A and B are shown apart, each in its own frame.
Chain A
């Protein structure tokens, strides 16, 4: 099968080579001029071509260009991020072009897989995010900065240093890994925390099947294409930016000792348990101990330039984040070198990024421990070995971890050294045909280090000596791609095509070792190398996967009115089962520009295009060897009178050998319309995406004896359908520029088929059932509080059985759903889910005389979430600090929805009840930013070309009824996305920044 493809590819190539001839030139004249933006800044590197010919050049130093063109020809001027313009020459010899930033313009250049398109020619759903909008925000990863900037994406992150945000495009389409595919300068990779956003030139998000189809089996979760900056022809430009950010942790409002003691005694008294001997002389604010003001420094500098035959872009950056939890930090150093050069028909270039990132882990989870610890526990306690305060059997019965103790006793973190880049070369045989070789390489060398010193941080902690462990890993990702691109225009027929082959190899290997009783000297220093200590353990493993692909795309447009686009991709992966390794992924899309029709004559509509497409994508985002059962020989047993070690072998994990591609079928119907000379534009999309044969570890019975995770199986079908709308307005009145974008996304998730038997799936607090979204909250319903014993005695089912005989006034009344006279698991019911009904972003900007104001709002509405921390704080069953001012039911205080405080009883505080279910809706001011561009007159005196001062704030206002720290929390569990387990919250941030160039 594979060989057939090679032949097909080659023969098509020869066919294309022989079919077309070089177009001949016409009568000519020379035109010169400059290309600038609206502010007059030279757009070095802008491309100028003669419409309908292969003649093209790029703007050099100061935006100057020179081109030879027929007197009645038309110039097409474009630059990434700007609306391209067509300018008739009309026999002029000097033409200065002002390009407008492509905020609303449909003539924007969009990078799609293996090529570019004009936005107006798009037939699929592609969102473009401006690098500038991302850079306005202080973020560790690109994904985190995308929140609210476009439709169809769901982003959840958190403020932990080095944390990676979770991004989901158009709903949860599978259960294994819902992160989209990142393509950075043609390298298939991951824009993780190692990647420096400063280098971004443009971001495009391919959301539907036709747009993403060229990435076939990788693209089921959408594709995010990032291109990095390139040097532009001209003298060296130096750009520098510096930003300092202060980060504030949102805080719980917790009780101080006197109030806490009163309530803690009440909980013990109600339970009939003798009170613990709380130490009233201590009043510790554990949030003050664990949290601090964080900060981030983001420093970047770039040098770029070029000449007629080449260009360079070199940047260096440092990002340092001191976390808001003690002991946490993230540091990153980045270096990037992008160069390109050309001679005749040959050009070559490379993009290379080197980064070193280091994260100091958070130890334990202080977000939880600050309330698990009681205010009556001192931070230091000399009666404890090691000297830290923590729970005590008599005085403060809690197993919370002293965050200061664990931060000092345990140190761990990881260093990632990453090289990521590609080398490409291009042969432009003719104006319409070019061949490109792309060699991508990425490696990450990771070093994890852990040291636990002697010491204790919690009550009843087990005795362990000092322990050190380390692991070193290397990841390599190699990519070889050959593509042949064709683009030509015949009268009103625009034809372009691409044909390509791709081979990718990924390898990962790790070795690890650990030792105990690490040697310590008199000063307390630990010699934490693996040569020291005893009880050594070591191990290691390696993995390799290959992907072979062939793909082709044909785009055809007639008169700019009828656009059609077809893609076919063939993939073969080593990860799937024998006989199921290969798959075809086709897509077709079409668009009709109604506004181009003669009959269409609506003056206030500048452009109207309808789009429709259908396509299939695949996914095999699973482990390296999942379909293949193996024998586990890892543990050992002790045997014999001498208790010698013997080895074993057994199959631990079951497998399904027939694992095959999961396929995503997506239909998309959309329109793009712009009004009032493109000042106002509206883009709308409706999509239905069905994922079949989703690969996931469907729960299997424990009676199988399986362990090590549920075996993957193609046993789920999901549907995501949704509506996306983006409305953009851009206007100006004299020097005042203003505008805004309102985007709206509603995605409905539905399970079509489920599991081996089609049985409902129960995980954590959720039920998943066919016809409903993934992960319905499945909880006991409460029905208020018993106010009197009489109410308890009268609470009977239809047969007159007493439903809650053990309840007392002040206890919760549960609904006996099945009317069997008792409260059991069978009384649980569906109580909503964690998927928002809709999410919306509102981005507003205005600028006047160098001042710019940006405001980004983001809102998410309709999700139901479980407030995990509140179970502990309001539960009273286990000791924890309580929320300030909370007043549980007492005979004197009956008008409350907090049941009576009861120690060591789950009567009112079990985790699976609707008492903890809250609305997860919120609206948040993600960003407000004010910047000032220093006037050009001042700058030229000191030799600067631009300088900007900015101040900004992030997450400053949050409107929500959610009582936890942050409604925008992240939970990676697909079923329990809405369970807040004490997630690290998003932070309030205040930044000052300076950008300048010379």
Chain B
């Protein structure tokens, strides 16, 4: 009996209870409490915002459906009817993830990352305060960047500037379009002084003063604050950025061969180093899915294609040496491509509809016969040609039409197109005529580069039924467009239902 008791006692002591057993350290990841301590942490924190370029809701995939396909430049014949419906104002389920929820979610995910940097980095000691300021400025730039595109899409969205890390149940107050613009303006103006004119080679790809000014200008232009926009754009013509940028070979804006070139003001660094899925996993994909979704049927998913009027418009005017506008060759895949330029499409002769076209920009048919989910071709979000056309637009709106003309001519000249005064004499005669021609100039130069939706909104082309009818002649999807409603997306319904402060956008 005594022996047995001894055995029991030994066993009990072997399995003695200690509280520390219950405090298991997660061996897989650093606790938040151990992060945000060093300069390196700050750098990693800001890098995390760049990684949002690689996620589905944004510039990896779905935002092109909003900015390019929903505009009159693009369309969808996807057999995934709901996906196509979301490019033609047929919004039924406001939670539709691919059309709405994912982009909303990734917008706020990026903002959350910026907010983490802006909350924690100020308290991290830096040897060089300038470096710290530049990190904070990058975070501000990106917060503004994501609110800018959010403003284009949903307009009225909550403005959140704190990560609310300890409060997953946080329900932010509603925000109006004006609130969003105010935040974008504040962040960009705060970022501007602390970002460099250019970065050293290892940091090319981070926003410069040029990038900030470009987005300042875009933001002011959307609000028709032309004078402020001019001030921002002056950076490129009379300011520090003067002479820094120049136009390059047109096609080199859409290929991996000359990335971060002289025309580039801000571009997304895509890489095919990780051929994996997107997201927050180990070695997540750093490439773009765009061309896999936009390549012609049989090559890519062909969930998006270009409207044929673009082809017709390109063909309306020849170059000064009587050739087809070379921009057509590198902007679109279209039926006569082989005949006009001797180019096959991903190694194939035209096998698609006689009135069909696809976006060629960023495609890789210049060196391969297929696409995949890992395109390494950088996306030039802002390039100098756009700046020139923006400047022209701003000057024109400020009544300086004559001064505006040379900026358009510069862009045209690169493609051997005659000066406006020669090609379209009437266009240089009045502000309105100039604006009308500029709209087309922008389409020819920038089609498929995700600026068209902002352009249509800015020009007021979607503000009356009469004007929408004109757009609908180019893109019949606009027959579904209800003025005052479809100018902005519905907010994902779950967000409205689960946040008592939020109201659904008007008309939805």
Contacts and interface: CB of A to CB of B under 8 A. Distances in A.
Given A460-B297, A460-B300, A643 B31 contact: no
Nearest to B114: A705
Contacts of B472: none
Nearest to B160: A703
Contact of A630 (B1, B30, B283): B30
B500 interface: yes
A427 B28 contact: no
A830 interface: no
A9 B494 CA distance: 52
Given A516-B275, A703-B108, A704-B108, 13 more contacts: A13-B8, A427-B4, A542-B27, A629-B32, A634-B280, A635-B51, A635-B280, A637-B51, A639-B206, A703-B160, A705-B108, A705-B110, A715-B169
A604 interface: no
A548 B50 contact: no
16 contacts: A427-B4, A462-B372, A463-B371, A539-B283, A542-B27, A548-B22, A629-B31, A635-B51, A637-B50, A638-B286, A639-B50, A644-B202, A650-B45, A700-B168, A705-B112, A707-B109
A453 to B, nearest CB: 17
B21 interface: yes
Nearest to B499: A701
Interface in A933-968: none
A782 to B, nearest CB: 15
B95 to A, nearest CB: 8
B331 to A, nearest CB: 23
A480 B21 CA distance: 14
A800 interface: no
Contacts of B51: 635-637, 648
Contacts of B116: 650-651
A704 B22 contact: no
Contacts of A558: none
A707 to B, nearest CB: 6
B204 interface: yes
B55 to A, nearest CB: 9
Contacts of B274: 537, 636
B242 interface: no
Interface string A634-661: 1111111111111111111011110000
Interface in A817-876: 824-825
A259 interface: no
B17 A6 contact: yes
B205 A640 contact: yes
A76 interface: no
Interface of A: 1-3, 5-6, 9-10, 13, 17, 345, 393, 397-399, 427, 429, 435, 437, 460, 462-464, 480, 482, 484, 501, 503, 514, 516, 535, 537, 539, 541-546, 548, 572-574, 578, 581-582, 624-625, 628-652, 654-657, 698-708, 710-711, 713, 715, 755-757, 759-762, 824-825, 877-879, 904-906, 910, 912
A630 B82 CA distance: 37
Given A705-B111, A878-B81, A904-B81, A631 B300 contact: no
Nearest to A647: B44
B269 A630 contact: no
A13 B284 CA distance: 57
B17 A393 contact: no
B84 to A, nearest CB: 8
Interface string B474-508: 00000000000000000011110111100000001
A10 B17 CA distance: 13
B30 A631 contact: yes
A548 B8 contact: no
B164 interface: yes
B201 A702 contact: no
Please indicate which of the listed interface residues B19, B205, B280, B371 has the most CB atoms of chain A within 10 Å of its own CB: B280
Contact of B47 (A641, A646, A879): A646
B170 A704 contact: yes
B269 A624 contact: no
Contacts of B17: 2-3, 5-6, 501, 503, 548, 572
Interface in B73-122: 79-82, 84-85, 90, 92-95, 101, 104-105, 108-113, 115-116
Contacts of B270: 638
Interface in B1-44: 1, 4-5, 7-8, 11-12, 14-19, 21-24, 26-32, 34-35, 41, 43-44
A624 B24 contact: yes
Nearest to B24: A574
Contacts of B354: none
Contact of B494 (A397, A542, A762): A762
B35 to A, nearest CB: 4
B203 interface: yes
Given A825-B493, A912-B93, A398 B28 contact: no
A582 B21 CA distance: 12
Contact of A643 (B105, B168, B271, B508): B271
Interface string B163-183: 111101111100000000000
B145 to A, nearest CB: 15
B345 to A, nearest CB: 15
A10 B27 contact: no
Contacts of B302: 460
A632 B172 CA distance: 25
B300 A825 contact: no
B82 A462 contact: no
Contacts of B298: 393, 460
A641 B201 contact: yes
B450 interface: no
Interface string B280-299: 11111010000010000110
A581 B273 contact: no
A701 B498 contact: yes
Contacts of A629: 31-32, 165
Contacts of A514: 276
Contacts of A435: 4, 8
Contacts of A713: 168-169
A647 to B, nearest CB: 6
Interface in B41-66: 41, 43-45, 47-51, 53-54
B500 A639 contact: no
B44 A648 contact: yes
B22 A543 contact: no
A946 to B, nearest CB: 42
B370 interface: yes
Given A548-B17, A649-B35, A437 B11 contact: yes
B44 A649 contact: yes
Q: Which 7 A-B pairs have the closest CB atoms?
A: A705-B112, A756-B169, A650-B48, A638-B271, A649-B44, A630-B29, A463-B370
A427 B11 CA distance: 13
B12 to A, nearest CB: 6
Nearest to A649: B44
Contacts of A480: 14-15
B373 interface: yes
Nearest to B82: A906
B498 A544 contact: no
B276 A537 contact: yes
A502 to B, nearest CB: 9
A134 B2 CA distance: 46
A384 to B, nearest CB: 10
A639 B203 contact: yes
B396 interface: no
Given A2-B17, A624-B26, A641-B204, A482 B497 contact: no
A702 B14 CA distance: 49
Given A581-B22, A630-B26, A713-B169, A701 B47 contact: no
A485 to B, nearest CB: 13
A463 B275 CA distance: 12
Contacts of A657: 166
Nearest to A578: B23
Given A574-B22, A759-B500, A632 B29 contact: yes
A397 B79 contact: yes
